[in-house]
Amino acid sequence: MKRMLIVGGTGETGSWFARYFRDRGFLVQVWGPSGKRDVAEALGVDFAPDVRKAAAKCDVMLISVPIQRTAQVVMDLAPLMRPGALLMDVTSLKSEAMSVMSRYAPPGVEVLGTHPMFGPTVPAILGQTVILIPVHDRGESWLPVIRELFIGDGARVEVMGAEEHDEMMAVVQALTHFAYLSIGSTLQALQFDVTRSRRFMSPVYDIMLDFVGRILDQSPELYAMIQSNPAAAQVRRTFIDQAKKLGQAADAGDTEEFCRMMQEAARHFGKTHEALVRSDRIINQRAQEKTSGR
């Protein structure tokens, strides 16, 4: 039975993976700086009383701490690992994390960046996407094991490099969150009555509000750190520039320019009708939930 230490395993994401690997035959230990032994007990796993000793004995160490703490935790614990073990992380940014893990993991310790594209409220990995970032010549044994484990449970696994990952996440995560947070901040600045507006909403507005609320209900520190992705700065600037141009066309009553921008965006987007059909299914499902009183 393989020993796994999850550093940050008493947090929400760490606890999710503690349950996941526990149910797949790993002997899981968790450790968290707050010393929440009751969380470990509730998970049915052991709490590591001495994280340094646990790091020296484990077969897999998974780092599940806030992005800003990942590098220091790796520097403190990775050098203690034994050859043949695997060092993993689950942070949303990969360039720095992969660099630090590769530098501080001793020779013979394999390194695998992992980014689950889902949150800890998801009940199962089935249908979810997991991104793996291997290190050349440091993943021959463990990469296929972890990859096949996730695939076997119905996940979609993508393998890519750290730089490519961060460039992709600058749009997939940072831009998406930034747009929703901008809407939430606009509603606050307008002192707009969100609750009352739901009486008049369309299904699209209803769904949009729920996504804005979903983001606002979570950790501001997490979302701030996701915005620290170096590739996200240019993405945000471009978003703001395009919003200004679109706003200027609307303010000026320049229908021709407004339509041109929308049409160019549609051509670049591609397969817009398929998106319309898929979103119609979501809208119709939401309408059925409303009428059924659920």
Domains defined for the chain, CATH in brackets: 3-160 (3.40.50.720), 164-292 (1.10.3660.10)
In the predicted model, what is the mean pLDDT of the chain? 95
171-209 residue pLDDT tens: 999 999 999 999 999 999 999 999 999 999 888 999 999
Share of the chain above pLDDT 70, in %: 99
What gap in Å lies between CA 139 and CA 218, rounded to an integer?
Answer: 34
Q: Mean pLDDT across the stretch 90-112?
A: 97
The two three-digit tokens of residue 72, written as one number:
């220091």
What gap in Å lies between CA 18 and CA 27, rounded to an integer?
Answer: 10
- The closest of 131, 133, 128, 129 to 97, measured between CA atoms, is 133
What gap in Å lies between CA 294 and CA 288, rounded to an integer?
Answer: 9
What gap in Å lies between CA 24 and CA 40, rounded to an integer?
Answer: 17
Could you tell me the pTM of the whole model?
0.91
The two three-digit tokens of residue 15, written as one number:
């606890």
What gap in Å lies between CA 136 and CA 98, rounded to an integer?
Answer: 11
**What pLDDT is attached to residue 289?**
80
